[in-house]
């Protein structure tokens, strides 16, 4: 477990939240104006223009509901062979995100279904540590 490193460490954390400790969390922000957003950045709030210290880090639990999904038959990414499945997910935090699903057949999916974040091995770094990327799974057990 300790030998895993996140592919995009600024986007998600291998550790869970207090509320959902067993699932990797997503790194978002909340502005002083109340606007919650993902992914994380401090250049400025899209809603009000505040920046820097007015933007606070938040960790969002890796659980949400499917809003819509699609099987992609043409990949533009060498490391991601088609077909693969993506979904728009409404996180418990209310933020709407889009991500890859850890599912091979869309027949297993339905709109409104609960999904959980999970780590998927995508290779190894020079020191032999496992590189993991975030996916969403329909299985409640990790």
Partner 1 sequence: MGRILKELRPVYVVGIGLHRYQRASEKTYVELGLTAIREALQDAKIEWEAVESSYVGTAKLGMAAGRAMLRHLGTTGTSITHIENASATGSSAFRQACIEIAGGFSDVALAVGVDKVDPMPRAFEKNGIKDLASDAIVPFTHFALLAHDYMSRYGVTDEQIAQVAVKNHRNGALNPYAHRQKERTLDEVLSDDPISGSFTRLQCCPIGEGASAVIVASEEGIKRFGIDPSRAIRVSASVSRSERVYEPGAGFDAELTRETTAIALKEADITVKELDVIEFHDAFTIEELLYVESLGLCGPGQAPHLLAEGAMDIGGQVAVSPSGGLLAMGHPTGPTGLGQIAEVTRQLRHEAGPRQQPKARTGLAHMVGLGSVCVVHVLQRP
Interface positions with Zn ion (CB under 5 A):
31, 33, 35, 45, 47-48, 50
Three-class DSSP category at 52: helix
In angstroms, the CA 28 to CA 97 distance is 11
Stretch that binds partner 1, among 14-22, 56-64, 87-95, 122-130 (CB under 8 A): 87-95
Of the pair 52, 128, the CB lying nearest partner 1 is at 52
Phi then psi for residue 28, to 5 deg, are -115, -170
Using the contact rule CB under 8 A, the part of the chain among 16-24, 51-59, 98-106, 121-129 near partner 1 is 98-106
Distances (CA, A) of 139 to 19, 73, 114, 126: 18, 24, 9, 32
Is there binding between residue 86 and partner 1 (CB under 8 A)?
yes
| Binding at 86: pick from Zn ion, partner 1, none (beta carbon under 5-8 Å per type) | partner 1
Residue 68 touching partner 1 (CB under 8 A): yes
Partners of 30 in the β-ladder: 36, 56
Query: From start to end of the chain, where are the E strands?
Result: 4-6, 12-13, 25-31, 36-37, 55-60, 63-72, 84-91, 96-100, 114-124, 130-137
Contacts of partner 1 in 23-42 (CB under 8 A):
26, 35, 38-41
Among 98, 108, 122, 139, binds partner 1 (CB under 8 A): 98
Q: How far is CA 74 from CA 26, 34, 85, 86, 113, in A?
A: 27, 38, 11, 12, 25
Residues 103-142 that bind partner 1 (CB under 8 A): 111, 134
- Give contact residues for partner 1 (rule: CB under 8 A): 8, 10-12, 26, 35, 38-41, 43, 46-47, 67-77, 80, 84, 86-88, 90, 94-100, 111, 134
């Amino acid at each position: 477990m300790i030998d895993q490193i996140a592919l995009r460490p600024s986007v998600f954390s291998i550790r869970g939240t207090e509320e959902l400790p067993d699932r990797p969390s997503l790194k978002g922000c909340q502005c002083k104006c109340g606007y919650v957003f993902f992914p994380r950045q401090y250049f400025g709030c899209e809603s009000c223009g505040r920046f820097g210290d007015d933007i606070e880090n938040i960790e969002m639990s890796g659980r949400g509901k499917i809003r819509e999904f699609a099987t992609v038959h043409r990949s533009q990414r060498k490391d991601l062979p088609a077909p693969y499945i993506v979904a728009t997910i409404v996180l418990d935090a209310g933020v709407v995100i889009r991500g890859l699903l850890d599912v091979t057949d869309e027949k297993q999916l339905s709109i409104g279904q609960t999904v959980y974040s999970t780590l998927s091995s995508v290779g190894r770094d020079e020191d032999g540590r496992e590189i993991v990327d975030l996916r969403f799974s329909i299985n409640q057990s990790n």
